[in-house]
Chain A
Amino acid sequence: MTPIKRTIKYEADRVRGFAKEIMSVSGCEQLQSCIQCGTCSGTCPLSIYMDFSPRQVMALVRADFKNEVLRSQTVWLCSSCYACTVECPRQIRITDIMYALKQRAIKEGVYPKRFPIPVLAKEFAAMVRRKGRITETLLVLKLFLKANWRAVLGSWRLGLGLIRTGRFVLRHERIERQAELAAMLAAADNNNGQPKEAA
């Protein structure tokens, strides 16, 4: 028998204080004034692939449905093109709210497991912390090995193309004063009330 599933949210599914937490993030205060017009969903080039549209995410956040938004595919499909942010008639920085949600989904480890985007974000951050710069080809190799080693085989044509065109870089780009950067990032770690990094 197919298991049945409740499709309406109960009040008990809410996580009290979540909306307040997101709206306390610098730049996200305006969420309070969302009129649910749907302009964000209409301008979003990726909303056709999302489980919740951007408009729905705004409503869910404001109503404290933390678990639903943090586990959604939507925040990871946002490519940061800022179309919604520019168009929002209430000047809500929707892209920045998506970032605030991504940070919390990574911190709590609740992002959708088949999406390699959070893995990319974490590997990216780790490489910056160690080298100060990104070497793209090495980052992508690392991502493939961690998330989906079969993809390396599937992308052999792309890899060969990069070698042929001299764009495949194997030597790490790095900064000279790595210790200075590390000290700066460490100082950012214990900031008042800011969430610590999960990686």
Chain B
Amino acid sequence: MKYSYFPGCSLKGLGRAYEESLLPVMRQLGVELVELEDWNCCGATAYMSVDEQKASVLAARNLAIAEKTGPQDLVTPCNACYLVLNKTKHNIADFPDINQGVQRALRKANLTYSGNTPVRHPLDVLVNDVGLDVIKEKVVRPLKGLKVAPYYGCQVVRPYATFDDAWNPTTMDRLLATLGAEVLHFPLKTKCCGGSLTGTIPEAGLRLTYILLKEAVRRGADVIATICPLCQFNLDAYQDQIERRWGPARIPTVYLTQLMGLAFGLSPAQLGLKRNFVPMKPLAEPTPA
């Protein structure tokens, strides 16, 4: 299986542990990710706030490059990139004025875009293309006894995702169960983490993060599993500030792909686990059979 791979800026910066764990895990599963040639920032929520037409052009350049170079399916692990690239794909198809502006800009780079690049999230690829049975075969160290709160974040399921439910997605739950983990019922699984408001309006943004942390702790989770670099950063890096404001809320937050790597027998160092502010406890040594 071969895919174009759009890492997004975060996976080269604050979220580099996501890429460090995604790549070896995908390799073990026989999934080849080909990094998109000269990809640019998707624009995220910020560019859309400044200029809609340019935001569409930014995202469209990536879609057009993927269409030109192949492989056709474009995999992007960041929830925000996933949303923006999908949204642009939809807007180009639905609104002639946006399409016109985009095509005119693309011509400046001798690019075209005919709408044929499916935008996929690794979670979708893992569950629907690779399959849970294949993943199960790779598990050498089941996450037995590890209580995990599955946290999807918002933009991966709303409003453009087709692979799971907008409010109660279950793909990650099922994948974690396949790894042998104890998956907790976590009703806040798609509630907003605060996004960039944690930095810009902390009294509101950090409160949203705090609600998630507190609920995961209350439900007895050992760890929160995420699939978005901004969610991971918010939940992991601000616990000091949150505890100073509102009281105890300490719990490690790791990427789904890091938990997969551990279950596949990779070492924490190979999976970027040392990059956590709040470290995850090492798994219990497997008892010899």
**A residues in contact with B158, CB < 8 Å:** 81-83, 85-86
**B residues in contact with A134, CB < 8 Å:** 9, 13, 41, 44
**A residues in contact with B104, CB < 8 Å:** 187-188, 191
Contact with A along B33-77 (1 / 0, CB 8 A): 000001111011111111111101110010000000000000000
Min CB–CB distance A190 → chain B (angstroms): 10
Partner of B240, one of A86, A157, A185: A157
**B residues in contact with A195, CB < 8 Å:** 51
Measured CA separation A175–B205 after assembly (Å): 31
- Asked if A99 and B48 make an inter-chain contact with CB atoms under 8 angstroms apart, the answer reads yes
How many chain A residues touch B (CB < 8 A): the figure is 67
Known: A124-B47, A173-B13. Contact between A86 and B166, CB under 8 A? yes
> Any chain A CB within 8 A of the CB of B98?
yes
Closest to A182 in B: B108
Interface residues of B in 185-204 (CB under 8 A from A): 191-192, 194-197, 199-201, 203-204
> Any chain B CB within 8 A of the CB of A30?
no
- Asked if A106 and B49 make an inter-chain contact with CB atoms under 8 angstroms apart, the answer reads yes
> Any chain B CB within 8 A of the CB of A17?
no
Measured CA separation A120–B10 after assembly (Å): 16
Contact with B along A142-182 (1 / 0, CB 8 A): 01000000000000011001100111010001011100110
User: B residues engaging A (CB < 8 A)?
Assistant: 9-10, 12-14, 16, 38-41, 43-54, 56-58, 61, 83, 91, 94-95, 97-98, 100-101, 104-109, 154-155, 158-159, 166-167, 191-192, 194-197, 199-201, 203-205, 208, 237-238, 240-241, 274-277
CB pairs A–B below 8 angstroms (23 shown): A45-B208, A79-B196, A85-B158, A115-B200, A128-B40, A134-B13, A136-B13, A140-B199, A143-B199, A158-B241, A161-B237, A165-B275, A169-B13, A173-B13, A181-B109, A183-B108, A184-B61, A185-B105, A187-B104, A187-B108, A188-B51, A188-B57, A192-B100
